[in-house]
Amino acid sequence: MAELTYRDAVARGIAQEMERDPDVIFLGEDIARAGGVFKATVGLVEKFGPLRVRDTPISEQAILGAAMGAAMTGLKPIAEIMFSDFIAVCFDYLANQLSKSRYMTNGQVKCPLVIRTANGGGFRFGAQHSQSVENWCMMIPGLKVVAPSTPADVIGLMAAAVRDPDPVIFFEHKSLYPVKGEAPDGEIVDQLGVAKIVRPGANATILALALMVPRALAAAERLKSQHGIDCEVIDVRSLVPLDTQTILASVARTHRVFTVEENPRLCGWGAELVSIVVDEVFYDLDGPPLRITTPHIPLPATDVLEDQAIPSVDRIVETIRRSMHA
């Protein structure tokens, strides 16, 4: 068992799959000689060479176009879009091209492609470099969406994504890059579409993703010690496919559900999960589902305002406390 940062887990996860399969290639802006703008890909070009680890021009359309062509002709590319905000520049590839190729060819053309991107706020990068956009992507049929919260999950879910026959967008949270965690030695292979109960509890279910998972865990500990509210915390991990069985079983046990979402409130991923909960286990609920989200605003760059916008441990605790004691 080794301790490593989330940042180092990215490089280890990519290296694991490149060592295993010579058809895996890696391309993106500044990923090779510079080691990535967040230093998450350091050492890969030295290990695998410039033919398999390629720096590209500053063109998101070119990156995904080249990656899609490579995937359709037998390779297994990992493509980096530096900031998740920039997938808007190449959204046609996501929404209309690579996500539809397998369906429109009746399975004759597969597109085994992983799109890595740095997601979320916390670094004061402002409204164009801090968005949490997983909800943009989960609405696209044919595209799988994952967002790990720990170093071990980064490695395991990267393996699952690379080995999947369909395109997967892999959201890495910028604020988690320096966070350390344990990861088993040797090969780590996880499974898409499996949520994790990271804290058992009896009184309420908290659904969280990426950076919101450690905040939900901290809030759950405070709710238990200070208010006697025992919350179960689920790391959703994969939005598409979605582990509805784990989520619904938890809500049926605890009878309350809260989502903690960094994406803006309007059309956030939690709205879809709440809809599923209400459809499937409505009569098990003892109170209304509540969503704890970022407001529907451009994310501020000012530290005080950004911290106020993104759900904090304090806001999670206070929202759940008020609701449970109402």
pLDDT, tens only, 98-145? 999 999 999 999 999 999 999 999 999 999 999 999 999 999 999 999
Would you state the pLDDT for residue 1?
Answer: 84
Domain ranges of the chain: 2-183, 196-324
Could you state, in chain order, the average pLDDT of each consecutive group of 10 residues for the chain (326 residues)? Answer: 95 98 98 96 98 97 97 97 97 96 94 97 96 97 98 98 97 98 96 98 98 98 98 98 98 98 97 98 98 97 96 98 90
pLDDT, tens only, 192-227? 999 999 999 999 999 999 999 999 999 999 999 999
CATH code of domain 2-183: 3.40.50.970
The structure's pTM equals 0.97
The per-residue b/e assignment along 238-273, b for 16 or more CB within 10 angstroms, e otherwise, is bbbebbeebbbebbbebebbbbbbbbbeeebbbbbb
129 a catalytic residue: yes
Look up residue 19 and give its two tokens. Answer: 């060592």
Would you state the pLDDT for residue 240?
Answer: 98
CATH code of domain 196-324: 3.40.50.920
Query: Of 60, 172, 261, 306, which residue is the catalytic one?
Result: 60
Q: Which amino acid is at 240?
A: V
Query: Of 80, 129, 134, 261, which residue is the catalytic one?
Result: 129
Print the SS3 string covering 121-163.
Answer: CCCCCCCCCCCCCHHHHHCCCCCEEECCCCHHHHHHHHHHHHC
